[in-house]
């Protein structure tokens, strides 16, 4: 549960940061990617905080790029 909360916090922070400079599609992609990446990172690393954060960051980047090209 702690990792899910951290993933949600990271997703909100990334959304607030990106909302001022990007389109809605790339922001949506980034948030979705951050949440998915955080959940995957947490699952793969057995719930470690570092795995969750790295997964969320990677997912946010990929989601942003995908959303930007839609």
The residue assigned the tokens 């990106």 is 18
pLDDT at 2: 67
pTM listed for this prediction:
0.67
Q: Which has more confidence, 55 or 24?
A: 55
- Mean pLDDT over each residue of the chain, to the nearest integer: 80
Distance of CA 37 to the CA centre of its chain: 6
Burial of 55 (0-12, 13-18, 19+ CB in 10 A): buried
Instruction: Dump pLDDT digits (tens) for 21-52.
Output: 557 777 788 888 888 898 898 889 988 888 88
Distance of CA 45 to the CA centre of its chain: 16
């Amino acid at each position: 549960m702690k990792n899910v909360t951290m993933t949600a916090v990271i997703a909100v922070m990334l959304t607030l940061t990106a909302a001022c400079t990007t389109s809605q599609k790339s922001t949506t992609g980034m948030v979705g990617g951050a949440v998915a990446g955080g959940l995957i990172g947490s699952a793969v690393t057995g719930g470690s905080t570092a795995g969750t954060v790295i997964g969320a960051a990677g997912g946010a980047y990929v989601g942003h790029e995908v959303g930007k090209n839609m």
